[in-house]
């Protein structure tokens, strides 16, 4: 069995920490390794929460698509979503399903009628996508180089 992504990330983190501990390492190189270690920790955290995020996202998109189907009869109804990470056979399957559902949402936006009900449907799609951005573990908690050293200029 191959090592998991999380195990591979931990192994790389150990190598980075060992290199960072080298006493002959320059300050700039040590800072670069500190940032690399922070990115690896972020990736490890994102990887651990990816499957639950995909399942939750698939359920939310499928529910919205079912609601929008009333306004867009030509919209292909989505298959029922898998409701829990335990029911998903692989992260790859959940990711493929996520892409399919996002494609259906894009199709729905295009097919929604040009009236108040269609505008309301497009607003719901936009709200779902904004919420999705806030929940996506791959987009959150990204360490910014020098962020802790910057001063606020408000």
Arithmetic mean of pLDDT over the chain: 79
For residue 152, tell me if it sits in a domain.
Answer: no
Considering the domain boundaries, does residue 141 fall inside one?
no
How far apart, in whole angstroms, are the C-alpha atoms of residue 62 and residue 84? 14
The boundaries of the domain holding residue 84 are: 5-135
Residue 151 belongs to a domain: no
> Residues 21, 27, 30, CA angle at the centre, nearest 5°?
40
Helix (H, G, I), strand (E, B) or coil at 39: helix
- Rounded Cα gap, residues 146 and 127, in angstroms: 32
- Residue 10 phi/psi, 5-degree rounding, is -65, -40
Statement: residue 153 has pLDDT above 50: no
Instruction: Output the pLDDT for position 149.
Output: 41
Nearest-angstrom CA–CA distance, 35 and 145: 7
Q: pLDDT band for position 86 (50/70/90)? A: low
Cβ atoms of 124 and 64 within 8 Å: the answer is yes
Determine, yes or no, domain membership for 150. no
In a domain, 19, yes or no: yes
Return d(Cα 102, Cα 106) in angstroms, integer. 6
Q: Is residue 82 part of a domain?
A: yes
Question: Collapsing DSSP states into helix, strand and coil, what is residue 75?
Answer: coil
pLDDT digits (tens, 9 = 90+) for 89-125: 677 888 888 998 999 999 999 999 999 999 999 999 9
Indicate the number of domains in the chain: 1
Cβ 94 vs Cβ 110: under 8 Å: no
In a domain, 58, yes or no: yes
Residue 107 main-chain phi, psi, to 5 deg = -65, -40
| Residue 90 domain-assigned (yes or no) | yes
DSSP-based three-state secondary structure for 44: helix
pLDDT tens digits for range 47-80: 667 888 888 899 899 899 989 999 998 887 666 6
């Amino acid at each position: 069995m191959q090592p998991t992504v999380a195990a591979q990330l931990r192994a790389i983190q150990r190598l980075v920490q060992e290199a960072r501990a080298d006493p002959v390492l320059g300050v700039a190189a040590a800072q670069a390794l500190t940032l690399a270690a922070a990115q690896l920790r972020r990736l490890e955290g994102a990887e651990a929460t990816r499957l639950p995020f995909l399942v939750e996202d698939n359920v939310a998109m499928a529910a919205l698509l079912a609601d929008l189907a009333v306004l867009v009869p030509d919209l292909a109804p989505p298959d029922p979503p898998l409701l829990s990470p335990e029911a998903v056979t692989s992260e790859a399957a959940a990711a493929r399903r996520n892409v399919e559902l996002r494609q259906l949402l894009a199709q729905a936006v295009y097919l929604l009628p040009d009236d108040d009900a269609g505008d309301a449907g497009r607003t719901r799609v936009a709200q779902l996508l904004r919420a999705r951005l806030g929940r996506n573990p791959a987009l959150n908690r990204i360490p910014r180089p020098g962020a802790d050293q910057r001063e606020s200029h408000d």
